[in-house]
Homo-oligomer: A and B are copies of this chain.
Amino acid sequence: MKGINMIQLAKELGLSVSTVSKALGDSHEISSSTKKRVMELAKKYNYKPNPFASNLRKKKGKQIAVIIPDIVNNFFALAVDGIESVTMAKHYDTFIYLTHENLEREKSVLEHLENGLISGLIISVCTGREGYGHFQQFYESARLPMVFFDRVPDLLQFPKVISNNYESTFESTERLIKAGSKRPLFIQTEEPLYTLMERRRGFQDALVANGISFTDESLITCTENMEDNYLLLKKLFSSRKRPDGIFAPIEKFAITVYQVCRDLKLNIPKDLKVIGMTNLRTAALLNPSLSTLSQPAFDMGREAATLLLKMIEKKSYAAANDIIVLANELTIRDSV
C-alpha cells in the first residue's frame, strides 16, 4: 500500500485537487471547516506530499548541502552536528559531501549541485587558496544562498562563520612563551588557507610582541602525508636546533607531535611545550594532557545553518557580507 496522493484524497472528499492543496497549505481561501476535513483525512491516510512534485512546481525545496573536507575529525563532526540540529528543527534535509581535501572533488560536487537539487549550501573549503573561482562561478549560475564556515575563501564576498583565529592564536602563543619557550614553532600546511594564515599571523605577532624574532626556523611545513610529517618532525626534534614549544594549528599535526615525542622520549612539557588546535574529547587524557585551543565547532555549525536558512527563506541570497565571529577557547593543561 504505497503512499496515497492528493488526487485520491480529493476524490474521497468530493473536493477538487486545488482545494485540497490549498487546505493543506492552510490557505486563507479555504474555510476552516473544509480545512479540518482535509487535514483529518490526510492524517488518517498518513498522506505525505510528494517532494519531487512539489519541488518541481515550486522550483525550490527544503534540501541543503554540506560540503566539508572530512568527517573523521572532531571539529567537522561537531559542526555537522550543529548544522543538523537546526536543519532538523526546521524540517530541512541535509546532504553531505566529503572532499577529502581534493580540489577536483570539490569542483565536481559543486558542478553536480548545479542541477538544482538543493536550496542552499554550507561549505568549508579544502586547502589551497588558488581555487576559489568555482565557488564564484557556481554562485553566478546557480544563484543559491551559500554560507562558508571556518575554512572560508577570504577573497570572496560571501557570508561566513569563523572563529577569532588571530587573537586566540596570539594568546596561545604568548602562553607558550610565558611558560618558558624561547624557540616556538608553528606548523604550517603546504597549501595556504586563510584560516591558517590568520593563525600564523597571530603566532608571528605574538613572537614579535614578546621580543622573539620570527625566522624561517619558526615555521615548518607539513603535508597531507602523515608518515612524511612524522619523519620530518622526528628529524627536526632530533636536531640540535630543535624547538622548545609548538603551536599545532591542526588536530592531526598535534597528534603527530605527540607520537614523535613519545618515540624520541622527549619530555612534554619540559623539552617541548605543546598547544594544539583541536576539539579532541580525549585531550585531557593524553600523556601528558594536551593543552588545547578549541573552536566552538557545534556553535559554528549552528550559526552557519541558521544564517543559511534565513537567507533561503528571505530569498536574500544577494551575497550578504555577514561575517559571524565566535571565540575559540584556550585550555591550558600539562603539556605547557
Spell out A's residues near B (CB within 8 Å).
1-3, 46, 48-53, 55-56, 61, 63, 70-74, 77-78, 80-81, 84, 88, 91, 93-98, 105, 112, 114-117, 140-143, 255, 258-259, 262, 280-282, 284-289
Contact = CB atoms under 8 A, between A and B. Distances in A.
A92 to B, nearest CB: 10
A291 to B, nearest CB: 14
Most central of A46, A88, A255, A282 by chain B CB within 10 Å: A282
A227 B224 CA distance: 37
A74 B95 CA distance: 20
A141 B255 contact: no
Copies, count: 2
Q: Is the interface of A mostly helix, strand, loop or mixed?
A: mixed
Contact of A285 (B50, B51, B88, B259): B259
A286 B287 CA distance: 5
30 contacts: A1-B140, A1-B141, A2-B142, A2-B143, A3-B142, A46-B114, A48-B114, A48-B115, A50-B115, A50-B116, A51-B52, A52-B53, A52-B55, A52-B61, A53-B56, A70-B81, A71-B71, A71-B81, A72-B78, A80-B96, A84-B97, A94-B95, A94-B96, A95-B95, A255-B282, A259-B284, A262-B285, A286-B286, A286-B287, A287-B288
